[in-house]
Amino acid sequence: MKDKPKNYNCLKQIKSAIYLSNTRGEIGRKERDLEADKLLIKYFNNCDFASIESDIISIVFIDTTTTLTQAIESYRYGQFDSSMVMIRSAIDAATYASITMEPVYDHNLKKLISINPIDGINGYKKYKKLDRRMKKITDKKFLTHNETDELLKIRNEGNFSAHYFKIKNDHFNDIIKIYETKHELPEDLPRQFTTEKDNQSNLLRAFEIITTLQNNYLKFYKIASS
C-alpha cells in the first residue's frame, strides 16, 4: 500500500472543515457538478468549436470566457465568494469587449477576416467607466435597460466578495456605533459571507444575460453559420 503523504491527516481535517462549511457537503457538490457541467456545455455550444459563432466568441470574448468559467468552477467547488469575484470580472470583460471589438466578416464566403478594435488604443479610456459601457450596450440593443440594471446589481454583489475585509469591518463599526447610542443591535445584521443560494442565483442570471449579450452581438454583425 502506498504511503500517505506527510501531514495527510491534518490536511484531511482542514479540507473537510473548509468543504463542509456553507457547501452542504457531498450532496451539494454532486448537485453543483450537474449545474456547472450544464453551464459549460451550453456556453461552449455543445462543443461545436468549428462554427463561426464559436470562433468569434472565443476571440472577442476571450477574457469573458476565462473569468466566467472560473466563476462556474469556483461555484462547483463551493468557493462562493471567489465565484462572485469572477462573475464581477466576467461582467466587466463582456460589457467592454462587446462595444470595443468589431468582427470583419465576409458574408459571401461566410468567413471571419479579422477582429478590429473600434476605437483603437483609446477604447479602454473611452469605456473604462461602467455607465458608459452600459449606455452603449443598450444603444446597440445588445441588452435591455432591465438587463443592464440586473448586471449592475449582480456586479455590486461581487463587490462584497472583492472587498470582503473592508466592507465587513465597516459594517461592524457601524453596528458598534448603533449599539453605543441605542444599546441594542439592529435586526438586520450584515452578512459574513456569500451563501450558496446567493451565488447560484447570481451566477445563473449573469450567465443568462452575458450569453444573451453575446448572441445579440453576433446578430448585430449578421454573423451566422447557415
Per-residue model confidence as pLDDT tens digits over 61-77: 999 999 999 999 999 99
106 assigned to some structural domain: yes
- Give the tens place of pLDDT for each residue, 171-217: 666 656 665 676 665 566 556 778 899 999 999 999 999 999 999 99
152 assigned to some structural domain: yes
Residue 225 has pLDDT above 60, yes or no: yes
Q: What angle do CA 104, 110, 116 make, to 5 degrees?
A: 10
4 assigned to some structural domain: no
Q: Which of 77-86, 118-127, 143-152, 207-216 has the lowest mean pLDDT?
A: 118-127
- Domain extent for 78: 24-220
Per the structure block, which three cell numbers stand in for 10? 491534518
Residue 1: predicted pLDDT: 47
90 assigned to some structural domain: yes
Residues ≥6 apart with Cβ < 8 Å to 157: 84, 194, 198, 202
84 assigned to some structural domain: yes
- Give the tens place of pLDDT for each residue, 132-144: 999 999 999 999 9
3 assigned to some structural domain: no
Number of domains composing the chain: 1
Residue 34 has pLDDT above 70, yes or no: yes
17 assigned to some structural domain: no
226 assigned to some structural domain: no
Q: 197-203, long-range: CB within 8 Å, 24+ apart, which pairs?
A: 198/80, 198/157, 199/75, 199/80, 199/81, 199/83, 199/84, 200/35, 200/75, 202/84, 202/87, 202/154, 202/157, 202/158, 203/39, 203/71, 203/72, 203/75, 203/83, 203/87
